Amino acid sequence: MQSKPDSSCRHSETIGDALARARRSLDNRLEADLLACRALGCGRSWLYAHDRDPIEPLSRQALEALVEQRLAGRPIAQLCGEREFYGRAFRIDEHVLIPRPETELLIDLALSLDLPDRARVCDVGTGSGCIALTLAAERPGWRVTGVDCSAEALAVASDNRIGLGLEGPEFVHGDLLEPLSGRRFDLIVSNPPYVADDDPHLQRGDLRFEPSTALVAGPDGLDVIRRLVDAAFEAITDGGHLLIEHGHDQASQVRPLLRQAGFTRVDSHRDLAGIERVTLGAKRA
């Protein structure tokens, strides 16, 4: 009787065979290819050019383990260990929110403001550092500070600063603006947690695997924004600005919060999906 091929016989398998299997399991060609690159430590052009080479057993096992985790729901960005944001690659892990395209609107708005060449800028809840580091990279004169209550997140942000070869920003540990008391900023930006405690989206997709401290903020999702708006008004210089990202249905609640805190020229801006996603306020002299 002919013995069945089992996994121990797969050492003669090629990279192309393993890739085809991963694509079938995931039913997603791009994700399978990205995971194969991760498992083999190569780029996509190398992967496609070497599809007839035998795959090393360790690489094959690594790919199978990644496919299994993806099938269990782990975000592709966590499995690949990085995500692109505003044209740069950021290392990420399970301690930080995965950078999202809608947050690029906040960057565009920050860069469009008329700020001093050496503006003092603070990113509250910096996470992977994608906002703080992007602003520092785009405006080398700006003095950027990123603050986060998670030490694990700050370790990721510091790694990203090294990866991008930037000297700034400084990263500070603490709750909102508390560790920076007495300091003043020309611009405060934030993508704070803003999902409501019982939002069903928390049980779906990538959100299940992201840190809840970066996502969830009380019964209406506005607990952190409420505290942040008041603290930010104190810390912003006369003539300075606040930019806050918020949920798809929160703009009409966030604008009054900014006005009550004392901000003027309060306005919400739409992301590429047409959703009011970032609200801007000014502190007039």
Minimum gap (Å) between residue 244 Cβ and ligand GLN: 10
**Beta carbon nearer to ligand GLN, 246 or 283:** 246
- Which residues lie below 8 Å from residue 100, measured CB to CB, with a gap of 6+? none
Provide the binding-site residues for ligand GLN, judged by CB under 6 A.
Answer: 97, 100, 191, 193-195, 207, 215
Nearest distance, CB of residue 193 and ligand GLN, angstroms: 5
**What's CA 145's distance to the chain center, in Å?**
17
CB closer to ligand GLN out of 97 and 235: 97
The CB-of-62 to ligand GLN minimum distance in angstroms stands at: 29
The distance of closest approach from Cβ of residue 205 to ligand GLN in the complex, given in angstroms and rounded to an integer, is 8
Closest approach, Cβ 232 to ligand GLN, in A, equals 16
Nearest distance from C-beta of residue 208 to ligand GLN, angstroms: 11
Nearer to ligand GLN, 135 or 278 (CB): 278
d(CA 97, CA 12): 40
Q: Which is nearer to ligand GLN, 100 or 139 (CB)?
A: 100
Identify which of residues 33 and 206 has a Cβ nearer to ligand GLN in the complex: 206
What count of other Cβ atoms lies within 10 Å of the Cβ of residue 166? 16
Q: Which is nearer to ligand GLN, 129 or 193 (by Cβ)?
A: 193
Minimum CB separation of residue 224 from ligand GLN in Å reads: 9
**Residue number, 61 or 213, with CB nearest to ligand GLN:** 213
In SS3 terms, the chain reads as CCCCCCHHHHHHCEHHHHHHHHHHHHCCHHHHHHHHHHHHCCCHHHHHHCCCCECCHHHHHHHHHHHHHHHCCCCHHHHHCEEEECCEEEECCCCCCCCCCCHHHHHHHHHHCCCCCCCEEEEECCCCCHHHHHHHHHCCCCEEEEEECCHHHHHHHHHHHHHCCCCCCEEEECCCCHHHCCCCEEEEEECCCCECCCCHHHHCHHHHHCCHHHCECCCCCCHHHHHHHHHHHHHEEEEEEEEEECCCCCHHHHHHHHHHHCCEEEEEEECCCCCEEEEEEECCC
